[in-house]
Chains A and B, each alone.
Chain A
């Protein structure tokens, strides 16, 4: 099969990008930057305006 060089470059770039993204994600989780995650959803009620 004849794979165009453009695709190879692209795959390399994509893999590198994915690697960096994964590393960043792992680091962010370890660093505690994302917890406690689900509580964040309540922040919109902090302006005290009553829902209707």
Chain B
């Protein structure tokens, strides 16, 4: 015969996949889904949610993580990127943007670290005008060239942020999980 019965073969194959699913997704899914949001975490406003969409669209995730590791594991703590994150910090995140690359710094708490809109505007238009060594891409299409209202910030003499740019910055400023874990 030299082959186990087909039914046994497929049962085994499916069981292997199922076991992995149960262990990696099923059980932790139940465990984590029971975790409520951190009480001090705010749902995203309309602008912030739209800004988050821009963050996804431009693929910021491929260079920036949004997860902070505990003391003694990496240098996230001494670098002051924020206390170790917990599942309740991500309650409103769909899709998740945990990320796996740190070509740029972790951004989970960028709103607390860098709260200046003007800094973000200049940086997004062209990061090298702010940080000459940066290899982050420029995002000029988040800006438009027109006469600025008095309340608006002008970068490079003639560009003001458009809706996408402003909302992206709203999102960045909202990234603040410095409240204590409860």
Query: Is A–B contact present in the complex under a CB 8 A cutoff?
Result: yes
Q: Is the interface of A mostly helix, strand, loop or mixed?
A: helix
0/1 interface trace, chain A 7-43, chain B, CB 8 Å (1 if under): 0011001100100110010001000111111011000
Instruction: Judge if B15 is at the interface, Cβ distance under 8 Å.
Output: yes
Is residue A3 within 8 Å, beta carbon to beta carbon, of the partner chain? no
Q: Is A51 in the interface zone, CB < 8 Å from B?
A: no
Chain B interfacial positions (CB closer than 8 Å to A): 1-5, 8, 11-12, 15, 19, 22-23, 27-28, 30-31
A39 to B1, CA, bound (A): 11
Bound-state CA distance A20–B18 (Å) is 14
A36: B residues at CB distance < 8 A = 2
A-B contact count (CB 8 A): 39
Alpha-carbon gap, A24 to B23, bound state (A):
21
B31 pairs with A10, CB closer than 8 A: no
Of B11, B19, B31, which contacts A14 at CB under 8 A? B19
Nearest opposing residue in chain B for A8, CB measure? B27
Which residues of chain A are within 8 angstroms of B23 by Cβ–Cβ distance? 10, 13-14
Most buried by A among B1, B2, B31: B2
Is B15 in contact with A20, judged by CB distance below 8 angstroms? Answer: yes
B30 and A6 contacting across the interface, CB-CB below 8 Å: yes
Contact of B19 (CB < 8 Å), options: A9, A17, A34:
A17
A13-B19, A34-B2, A40-B2 as given contacts; A24 in contact with B27, CB under 8 Å: no
Could you say which residues of chain B place their CB within 8 Å of the CB of A40?
Answer: 2
Q: How far is the CA of A37 from the CA of B3 in the complex (A)?
A: 9
Which of B3, B4, B15, B27 sits near A9, CB closer than 8 Å? B27
Within the complex, the shortest CB–CB distance from A14 to chain B, in Å, comes to: 7
B4 close to A33 (CB less than 8 A): yes
B30: chain A residues within 8 A (beta carbon):
6
Bound Cα distance A4, B15 (Å): 24
Instruction: Select one of B2, B3, B12, B22 contacting A13, CB under 8 A.
Output: B22
A4 CB contacts on chain B under 8 angstroms: 31
Top 10 nearest A-B pairs by Cβ distance? Answer: A6-B31, A33-B4, A6-B27, A28-B4, A17-B19, A40-B2, A33-B1, A10-B27, A10-B23, A9-B27
